[in-house]
Structure 1
Amino acid sequence: MSVLAETSGFDARTGQALADARLKIAIDRTAGTARAKRAAIVGAWPDFAVARERGREIKDHVVENLDHYLAEFERNALASGAVVHWAETAGEACRIVVDICRRAGARSVTRSKSMLGEEIGLPHALEAAGIERVETDLAEHIVQLAGERPSHIIWPAMHKTREEISDLFRQHHADPHREETAEAMAASARRHLRERFLRADVGISGANFLVADTGSVCTVTNEGNAEMTTTPPRIHIATAGIEKLVPTAAHAAMMLRLLVRSATGAALTQYTTFHTGPKRAGDLDGPDEFHIVLVDNGRSRMLADREMRPMLRCIRCGACMNHCPVFNQIGGHAYGGTYPGPMGAVLTPALDGLSTETRDLAHACTLNGRCREVCPVDIPLPTLLKGWRTRSWREGLEPETMRRGLGFWRWAGTHPRLYRLGAALAARALRLVARGRGRLGRLPLLAGAWTRYRDLPVPPAGPTFLEREAERLRRETRP
């Protein structure tokens, strides 16, 4: 676990992140590339807006009829030879997976990247059970070697620079790379993981989609690690949130087009596999047993909450993070939960409960709306974040200083003349303190929070915005 992830308190984690110059370099390299690639591939798809609306309709339809599609999925999965398990909580889901591993006498398991697994604490549960866990996704492998948590749902190691990854591989790989290139380091990881793929007793994957009419589990990777995780072992366990359903394979294909373009900026992911039951007579490979663990873990509460229900559309593409100005400054670990960025700021209090620990996440947002603009299923993330702010206020979770400060602000706003006078005096005072400089690097007392990590632009000379607006209205009303 990284020091940043262990630090208690959102403010403390944010402070550490903003002070880490290497973190900013790592985020800029990855998120910047992701934004450029997504813009190019979406710009080349004339019907993207239509597809986006279609994706939203598919997910809303499934959520409104979740009981029907869950029953259909279970029926068809059982018919294919799979075993379906139901888990109401994270702890129950972990117990089911660990019990399957124990019954199989598993000493080693391979795991393909799964944010649900992180959500339910599966890595820790396997470790507590004495079962060796091998992360097979390259980025997850890096995070595991570093003893840290993922910092992004698509690129779990985006907080690491190439130089840091090189040092990790030289420390932990028996046959490390000799040249510090991406190709050489990937080859080093491949040599390290190959033996572990082949000796694993159980392979554990997540699920990008669950196809109701076939009982299939769809996995998507760019490295082929999911196939190597699910095919050689005797047992394949897939863990999935109950909201991952789509009605048919055709709907899955539609959602895949949206997912891949939004997640990686590609037209098609390298490896897209539909797992339908265990190995059959005549099959050359595949698991002898296929277990599917369907996890609720707070999703039924979201379903019952009309305001938060749109969050169940989320297909975990990560586009909202890549375009979020806050995430791009502080990275994923500062959020403290499994899911970072705008979607994490909504999901974490929904799954873990609204508390003094999770209320800060909704405030880590400028409400600029970029997250909704790029969301492939049109989740109203800014509206949901404002909803958490309202609930936090209503439940008395906001600090007393904030409540008093906003109370004074409200009083000032209801006295326009005093407000305009105060604004004008404040602007002139800032210009006086600046003494000709264009920016202020430090402000006194409580105002110092504004300049702790950034400079404050000095208001330009001349009339304030309110004064200019008042003059405009006077001109427009003159006969």
Structure 2
Amino acid sequence: MAQNVAEKFLKDSAAKSFHQRHREIINTNIDKYNTAFERGKSKFFNLENSRKKANIIKWKVMENLDRYLLDFESNFQKRGGKVIWANDAEEARQEIVKIMERHQAQCVAKSKSMVAEEIALHHFLKTQNVDIFDYTSLDTSAESLTDEQEIEAQKLLREQYTMADIGITAANFIIADTGSIAITDNEGNARLSATFPKIHIALVGIEKVIPSINDLDLFWPLLASHGTGQNLTVYNTVLSGPRQPHETDGPEEMYVILLDNGRSNLLIKNDQRQALYCICGEVCLSTCPTYQNIPDQAYDTSYHTLINSLVPARLNSISEFKHPAYVSPLSGDGLDACAIGIDYRRLALLNRRDSVQHSLISKTDKRTWKLFTYIMLRRRLIDFFGGKTKNFFLRNFFKKTWQKYGELPKLADKSFSKQWKEQNKE
């Protein structure tokens, strides 16, 4: 599996990295984003302090995750909501099917959701012959539409939302003390999905818990500034269950599916559980040297944030995230920009360590590094061969590894230690 992921990544990245038009688009977007991010983070009185506070809150949550999840379940159920626990993607999909069958639902309104992508929900619903009103489809097709056509398409799509039997959304945060979920987006499709249909299903990873609704005054601005550079995203919604007797709108029934799907396996790793702190701001992408050259399409993950490529929370096998850890350039820029202060470099190094301990690297890699270590620890062997011999080996044995786009370095005729000795003698 890991080797297949690696081969696919290398193939996709080679195609994209040297596509001139694509590079222009990436560079333009990154420049715009960096400008917006600098403007957004300037609104914080003390950004570093806010990051530390958010990190401590998420640390507290992960150390007591079971308690906070049970608090949320209890408080959510008090208002008539229903909580479903799903161990993996298949369980989550089957629970959604059961809800649809129970309510004889034929059409679904689905907002943008990385968790839905994680469990391949769109494809699954298609196989069940379910009509899907998906706002993301408009986002893709709208590129070729005129302004008037786009407006008409949006009107038609919004009308379809009113006819959906079930609305499916994600949630950015699970609020333990009020039994609520918080959803934030800029298009309004999540609010449409949650408001018009009689049944609302929120699909959310168990790591999204925050202790109190008061914590939103910290996490919402951090998410907005590190996501799009805004002070606050356009639509921020807190939902605490189905419509109450005194309320005029909202769903008749509301379900929250709490998805594990490998997150507990990551939770038990003391060194790596900080990956679950991620709130999916995307500033880590624009600061990553790898991502600046290779887009998210090359990453084998449904999440478009580098943290989830390094340690994808949904995966059960270490072999599946062995390669993305080696993609990280260990520059440290992600740590400096992360809204929560997650240590990217440490996570990447820990994953590389685990891949070696679990014998996931190839025998060729093992032999190569063993030989490299042996030679580098013996200065006489390094100095035994001159520059011409070393360059000959580079050209004939490492050219393919270096790739056709890179130019092989030319080694000096004499090693540094030889030059140093000769200079000191003089």
Q: Which amino acid aligns with 1:30?
A: N
**CA–CA separation in structure 2 for the residues paired with 1:104 and 1:27:** 45
TM-score by length of 1: 0.80
1:248 paired with 2:247, answer no
User: 2:161 touches 2:193 (CA, 8 Å); kept in 1?
Assistant: yes
Distance 1:36 1:450, change over 3 A: farther
Secondary structure of the corresponding residue to residue 271 of structure 2: coil
1:19-68, CA deviations, whole angstroms, 9 ceiling, x for partnerless residues? 44343233223233222211232234240000000000000001101111
Deviation at 1:13, TM superposition (A): 2.4
User: 2:172 touches 2:279 (CA, 8 Å); kept in 1?
Assistant: yes
Q: 2:402 aligns with which of 438, 444, 450?
A: 450
Deviation at 1:211, TM superposition (A): 0.6
Aligned to 1:376: 339
Distance 1:64 1:23, change over 3 A: same
Q: Which amino acid aligns with 2:401?
A: A
User: 2:16 touches 2:295 (CA, 8 Å); kept in 1?
Assistant: yes
Alignment of 1:48-63 (within 5 A): 48-63=47-62
User: 1:166 touches 1:185 (CA, 8 Å); kept in 2?
Assistant: no
Aligned to 2:245: 281
Distance 1:318 1:418, change over 3 A: same
**CA–CA separation in structure 2 for the residues paired with 1:362 and 1:276:** 38
1:411 paired with 2:374, answer yes
**CA–CA separation in structure 1 for the residues paired with 2:190 and 2:421:** 62
User: 1:345 touches 1:385 (CA, 8 Å); kept in 2?
Assistant: no
Answer with 102-111 or 70-79: which moved more: 102-111
Answer with 48-57 or 32-41: which moved more: 32-41
**CA–CA separation in structure 1 for the residues paired with 2:325 and 2:403:** 21
Alignment of 1:388-407 (within 5 A): 388-407=351-370
User: 2:300 touches 2:309 (CA, 8 Å); kept in 1?
Assistant: no
Answer with 395-404 or 114-123: which moved more: 395-404
**CA–CA separation in structure 2 for the residues paired with 1:427 and 1:274:** 68
Secondary structure of the corresponding residue to residue 351 of structure 1: coil
Unpaired runs of at least 5, structure 1: 146-164, 168-175, 434-441
Deviation at 1:451, TM superposition (A): 3.9
Distance 1:6 1:107, change over 3 A: farther
Aligned to 2:127: 128
User: 1:277 touches 1:290 (CA, 8 Å); kept in 2?
Assistant: yes
**CA–CA separation in structure 2 for the residues paired with 1:465 and 1:370:** 31
Distance 1:467 1:134, change over 3 A: farther
Aligned to 1:111: 110
**CA–CA separation in structure 1 for the residues paired with 2:167 and 2:43:** 37
1:305-349, CA deviations, whole angstroms, 9 ceiling, x for partnerless residues? 112211111111122222111122121121122125531332338
Distance 1:455 1:199, change over 3 A: farther
Aligned to 2:163: 199
User: 1:83 touches 1:291 (CA, 8 Å); kept in 2?
Assistant: yes
**CA–CA separation in structure 2 for the residues paired with 1:106 and 1:469:** 79
Distance 1:29 1:191, change over 3 A: farther
User: 1:349 touches 1:358 (CA, 8 Å); kept in 2?
Assistant: no
Answer with 50-59 or 342-351: which moved more: 342-351
1:166 paired with 2:129, answer no
**CA–CA separation in structure 1 for the residues paired with 2:361 and 2:100:** 44
1:1-26, CA deviations, whole angstroms, 9 ceiling, x for partnerless residues? xxxx9997322222232344343233
Aligned to 1:158: none
Secondary structure of the corresponding residue to residue 86 of structure 1: strand
Q: Which amino acid aligns with 1:447?
A: K
What is the RMSD computed on CA atoms of the aligned residues?
3.0
User: 2:335 touches 2:343 (CA, 8 Å); kept in 1?
Assistant: yes
Distance 1:443 1:19, change over 3 A: farther
Secondary structure of the corresponding residue to residue 312 of structure 2: helix
Secondary structure of the corresponding residue to residue 326 of structure 1: helix
Secondary structure of the corresponding residue to residue 340 of structure 2: coil
**CA–CA separation in structure 2 for the residues paired with 1:26 and 1:321:** 15
Distance 1:277 1:193, change over 3 A: same
**CA–CA separation in structure 1 for the residues paired with 2:43 and 2:413:** 46
Q: Which amino acid aligns with 1:453?
A: Y
Answer with 189-198 or 235-244: which moved more: 189-198
**CA–CA separation in structure 2 for the residues paired with 1:470 and 1:45:** 55
Aligned to 1:306: 270
1:425 paired with 2:387, answer yes
Aligned to 1:325: 289
Deviation at 1:114, TM superposition (A): 1.1
Q: Which amino acid aligns with 1:63?
A: M
TM-score by length of 2: 0.90
User: 2:262 touches 2:313 (CA, 8 Å); kept in 1?
Assistant: no
Distance 1:257 1:194, change over 3 A: same
Distance 1:469 1:249, change over 3 A: farther
Q: Which amino acid aligns with 2:172?
A: N
User: 2:311 touches 2:325 (CA, 8 Å); kept in 1?
Assistant: no
Distance 1:399 1:388, change over 3 A: same
**CA–CA separation in structure 1 for the residues paired with 2:314 and 2:256:** 24
User: 1:55 touches 1:377 (CA, 8 Å); kept in 2?
Assistant: yes
Unpaired runs of at least 5, structure 2: none
**CA–CA separation in structure 1 for the residues paired with 2:235 and 2:353:** 42
Secondary structure of the corresponding residue to residue 9 of structure 1: helix
Secondary structure of the corresponding residue to residue 97 of structure 2: helix
Deviation at 1:453, TM superposition (A): 3.1
**CA–CA separation in structure 1 for the residues paired with 2:5 and 2:139:** 18
Deviation at 1:444, TM superposition (A): 4.5
**CA–CA separation in structure 2 for the residues paired with 1:340 and 1:426:** 45
1:368-392, CA deviations, whole angstroms, 9 ceiling, x for partnerless residues? 1111111111111111111111111
Q: Which amino acid aligns with 2:60?
A: H
Identity of aligned residues (%): 30
**CA–CA separation in structure 2 for the residues paired with 1:185 and 1:29:** 26
